[in-house]
Chains A and B, each alone.
Chain A
Amino acid sequence: MNKAICMVGALALLACGACPANGQDARQIMTEVQNRTQSKSEHYEGSLEVINSSQKISKKRWAYDRLGVYGNSRSELRFMAPPDVKGVALLVINHPERASDQWMWIPAEERDRRIALQDRASRFFGTDFSFEDLEERDIDQYDFKLVGEDTLDGAACWKIESRPKESKMSQYTSSLHWVRKSRYFLVRTDNFIKDRLIRQIAYRDVESIEGIWTALTVAVEDFTRNSRTLLTLAKVKYNLPMKSSDISRENFRQ
């Protein structure tokens, strides 16, 4: 499901071209996950439902565009609804070896502003995604370990644990990934702080779009708040002819 995965916190790994065989190590598996979901650019329209602990539902819609490959891409997310936040946009420029730079465009102020994001655990616009979940992450900044096998929704999966290296600042102590063996497709990630499960991200309704397996539903559950967010993807397109100036601070302001 390509960047849809990457965008919501699946490991966006630097392509290294390794092709795993049976019995391969965890890093090879995760690299293959990335390779199979790689595209030069992507567009989708997302519908969000945030269901809080009181079962109140708030809805948002956004359009997402991304240009570039893992760890070195730029993306723009622009809210389409509700009307209250329509036009508010987020520009993210990812760097392979450091945290991304982010700016927010607020139409009411007619200006963009750089976002201070020292705490990447902050929730993104009241959803259950944290800003860190929205970042692409570099495979070289994580250690991987194959911890076992499991069956999820009837499909055989590898269970792979990742831990950020010392140089990597992350809210999570570790993450556990379920990768479907038949497609090298990430179907679930559990994120932990110490041994406590904080956030679970599940990838559902998988379809092949332009040859790339894509989850059209991403479900995030925040166990600290007892709330969850459902992101539904529509109009997914890959490898659109985009230029870097299409996703830039200048274009962002238009």
Chain B
Amino acid sequence: MGVTVHAQGVSQRGFIEMSGNLYPQIVPDDNAHGISEVRFRYEPKWQPKSWLTFTASVEERVDTHRQDARTLQIDWNNRSLRRPTLSVRQLFTAFKRNNLTLSVGKQFIRWGETDFLNPTDRFTPRDLLTVVDQDVLPVTAARLTYTLGDNTLNFVWQPLFTPGRIPLVNERWTIATETSYRFEVGDLGSKFPGRSSFGARWSRTSAGYEWSLSYYDGFNYFPSLNTTIDPALARIAFSRSYTSLRLYGGDLALSLPLLTLKSEAACYTSPTNKQDEYVLYVLQAERQIREMQLVFGYSGEVVTAHAGVQQFLGERGFARAVFGRASYALDANRTLTLDVFMRQNGGSALLRAGYSHSFGDHWRASVNYVWLNGNANDFLGQYHRNSFATLGVRYSL
């Protein structure tokens, strides 16, 4: 990282991490109780001039469950169903001139204000291979930022579509009914959009509050599933396609004497009428009490038009719910966290308890337990047999 606004030169960081997930229960198509993974990430940065920065991030990952691919091909597009063994997470150049910044290349572009769910964050596809451990994916894009006083304008052009990742077939996070386990599943592949995506965001930061308005014209990074069932051959075949969507959104953060309020909402429309139209919104309140941080809120959804297509819900699957998070810093090296999610109709619930402890300058160990419960017809409840514990050890470079 460039450690100061004046620092020029090379900096770097990274880590190697070993982790293991332990599942007490098996599911019909996956009898593994344990999955382990090794991950290595290296992130150099070079700032030869104060106005010019090169940033890179490469990652290598290998697991025991083949959620990670086992080919040594370097993945640029991030379009694979599995996580790539070798991937370029970031490779971009940033040019800065007065109030203008232009970033070109593979990068993370995060929009939004809230924490649990970001309805306006469309340039960051999610990796939901393990549905409750969400990761984010970079996109290949050009981003122009213009700052004038308290106002910032963002324009993003994404020429190459990057899909989100959904659970793999024949794996414990697959979305499948009990009967479908008896069918052979055929994957007919994905059809990716040909045109580019565009987005614009105007944000304003003032003393005690900030807000933004955003617009996105592009595609849903989660697929519509086109499925054909042949009962005679006991075969299900499906393909993925990515429907176009437009988004009109905004967010607001307000610091009050007792609480900080954050909200974010987006109205999704479908120019081709091939996906639902809906409004996603989040209302969130935060408060810091000494070393404890408390967050609680509600994520809601209003469907304005049903398209009648089968679609992976993605972030919509986490709407219509209350959520909360408490984190407590025991000291400089130890932290306790507790996350709670509960669907408003009681269809599903998630509880995640975590403990993290750093040792010396480089080592950090963490233990988490995720408890899941719910009904089979609920997006999250269907994974009620997937409660798991995670043990992880990280060495930071």
Contact = CB atoms under 8 A, between A and B. Distances in A.
B253 A50 contact: no
Interface stretch (A113-121, A134-142, A152-160, A190-198): A113-121
Contacts of B396: 82-84, 86
A37 interface: no
Interface string B276-303: 0000000000111111010000000000
Given A65-B6, A114-B113, A250-B145, A84 B358 contact: yes
B196 to A, nearest CB: 22
B153 to A, nearest CB: 11
Contacts of A118: 256-260, 287-288
A126 B332 contact: yes
Contact of A254 (B53, B288, B332, B397): B53
A248 B361 CA distance: 29
Contacts of A63: 3-4, 7
Interface residues of B, number: 57
B287 A43 contact: no
Interface residues of A, number: 52
Nearest to A105: B1
Given A118-B258, A249-B152, A84 B205 contact: no
Query: By DSSP majority rule, is chain A's interface helix, strand, loop, or mixed?
Result: mixed
Nearest to B99: A245
Contacts of A114: 113, 210, 253, 255, 260, 262
A116 B284 CA distance: 11
Nearest to B335: A126
A82 B1 contact: no
Q: What are the 3 tightest A-B residue pairs by CB atom distance, in nearest-first order? A: A126-B332, A83-B396, A116-B286
26 contacts: A43-B6, A45-B4, A78-B4, A82-B362, A83-B13, A83-B361, A83-B362, A83-B397, A84-B358, A86-B1, A87-B1, A98-B207, A99-B255, A111-B108, A113-B115, A114-B260, A118-B260, A118-B288, A119-B288, A121-B290, A125-B332, A126-B332, A127-B332, A240-B6, A249-B152, A254-B2
